[in-house]
Amino acid sequence: MSLVKLSKINKIYPSGEVSFQALKNINLEIKKGEFLAVIGASGSGKSTLMHIIGLLDHPTSGKYELDGLDASHLKEDTLAKIRNKKIGFVFQSFNLLSRTSALDNVALPLIYAGISRNQRMERAKIALEQVGLSDKLNSHPNQLSGGQQQRVAIARALVTDPEIILADEPTGNLDSKSGAEVMGIFESLHRMGKAIIMITHEEDIAKHAKKRISIKDGRII
């Protein structure tokens, strides 16, 4: 059964008189546990694709089914709950809350899942152990290296035990050594059965994925 199913997805950004079509007739299926890399240059529409898969943005037309549920016409608050439950995000620029400890950053999505404080701390601790940061629980982002910050972000994506991890250029802000570490974590998550969708423009990074698609000018090629 497919986890993500996009049918005839179009995304048009109205920008003044000339509108810009970021995605053109996208059809895509991702199965549970798949590790997919979406490769494309900047401006190719790959980020837009990820935002639509991640329910952060609405397609202009087309149908999107997530885990058998038609997500095309849901209200924002319902989408928020689905994101919380099923999707873990890893961003290029980490997007951690500054002046907040690694543990609290990781526990953040659990607040919105309505989980008690003790459980949150417990689960956040386990997630940080999974990414090898059990000694940095109380460090703040500015006390961590880029690679460590991205690992905290991965732990945050993991903590709700989602079906899919969506990673947008996860190594884009990292040196190659930290990048390799991060990719190692993704591979082990894949072995644990998580579906991973990773956006990248680097062929080397894309090689870690078991399946690769390329996107250019809003079309899958």
Partner 1 sequence: MVETINSAFTAIFANRMRSFLTVLGIVIGVTSVILLISLVTGLKTYITNQIQGLGANLLFVIPGRIGGARSPGGVQANRLVYSDAANLRKSLSDSAEVSAAIQRNATLKFGNKNDRGVAIFGVESNYPKIISIKLTEGRFFTQSEQQSARKVAVIGQTVKANLFGEGKAIGQTIDVAGIRYVVIGVLASRGSTFGIDMDNSLYTPFTSAQRQFGIDRLNTIYISANRAEDVKSIQEKATTLLKKRLSEDEFTVQTQEQTLSTISQITGVLTAALGGIAAISLLVGGIGIMNIMLVSVTERIREIGLRKALGATEENIRNQFLIEAITLSGLGGVIGIILGIGISLIIGRFFTTTIPLWSVALSFGFSLLVGIIFGVAPAIRAAKLDPITALRYE
Tell me: does residue 84 bind partner 1 (CB under 8 A).
yes
- Can you say whether the dihedral through the CA atoms of 157, 7, 49, 18 is positive or negative? negative
CB of 190 to partner 1, least distance (A): 22
Q: Which of 24, 85, 212, 216 binds partner 1 (CB under 8 A)?
A: 85
- Contact region with partner 1 (CB under 8 A), list: 108-116, 130-138, 173-181, 203-211: 108-116
Alpha carbon of residue 69 to chain centroid: 19
Tell me: does residue 210 bind partner 1 (CB under 8 A).
no
74 vs 44: CA distance, rounded Å? 27
Kindly state the DSSP code that residue 96 receives in the 8-state scheme.
P
Q: Which of 73, 76, 135, 193 binds partner 1 (CB under 8 A)?
A: 76
214 vs 9: CA distance, rounded Å? 16
- Please, which residue, 115 or 180, has the CB nearer to partner 1? 115
189 vs 191: CA distance, rounded Å? 5
Interacting residues with partner 1 between 158 and 197 (CB under 8 A): 160
Tell me: does residue 95 bind partner 1 (CB under 8 A).
yes
Q: Which of 27, 31, 61, 111 binds partner 1 (CB under 8 A)?
A: 111
Residues 186 and 11 sit within 8 Å (Cβ to Cβ): no
The CA-atom distances, in angstroms, between 33 and each of 38, 96, 108, 210 are: 16, 26, 25, 11
- Contact region with partner 1 (CB under 8 A), list: 36-44, 52-60, 176-184, 200-208: 52-60
CB of 108 to partner 1, least distance (A): 6
- Contact region with partner 1 (CB under 8 A), list: 31-39, 62-70, 92-100, 131-139: 92-100
Looking up tokens 């500054």, which residue turns up? 98
CB of 97 to partner 1, least distance (A): 6
99 vs 142: CA distance, rounded Å? 8
Residue 83, Cβ density class (10 Å: 0-12 exposed, 13-18 middle, ≥19 buried):
buried
CB of 100 to partner 1, least distance (A): 5
Binding residues for partner 1, per CB under 8 A?
51, 54, 56-57, 76-77, 80-81, 83-85, 89, 91, 95, 97-100, 104, 108-109, 111-114, 117, 156, 160
